[in-house]
Amino acid sequence: MPNVAVDPAPRDATQSLWIDTSSLLPLRWELFKRGKPTSGFDMTYESIDLRPPAGVDAPACIRWP
The terminus-to-terminus CA distance of the chain in angstroms comes to 50
The pair phi, psi for residue 31, each rounded to 5°, is: -120, 130
In a domain, 41, yes or no: yes
Q: Assess if residue 31 is contained within a domain.
A: yes
Q: Is the pTM of this model over 0.95?
A: no
In a domain, 57, yes or no: no
Give a yes or no: residue 64 inside a domain. Answer: no
Q: What domain range is 5 assigned to?
A: 1-46
- Whether 51 is covered by a domain: the verdict is no
How is residue 53 annotated by DSSP? Answer: P
Q: Is residue 58 part of a domain?
A: no
Q: Residue 65 domain-assigned?
A: no
What domain count does the chain have?
1
Which pLDDT does position 56 carry in this prediction? 84
Determine what percent of the chain is predicted with pLDDT higher than 90.
32
pLDDT tens digit string along 16-47? 999 999 989 999 999 988 878 899 999 999 98
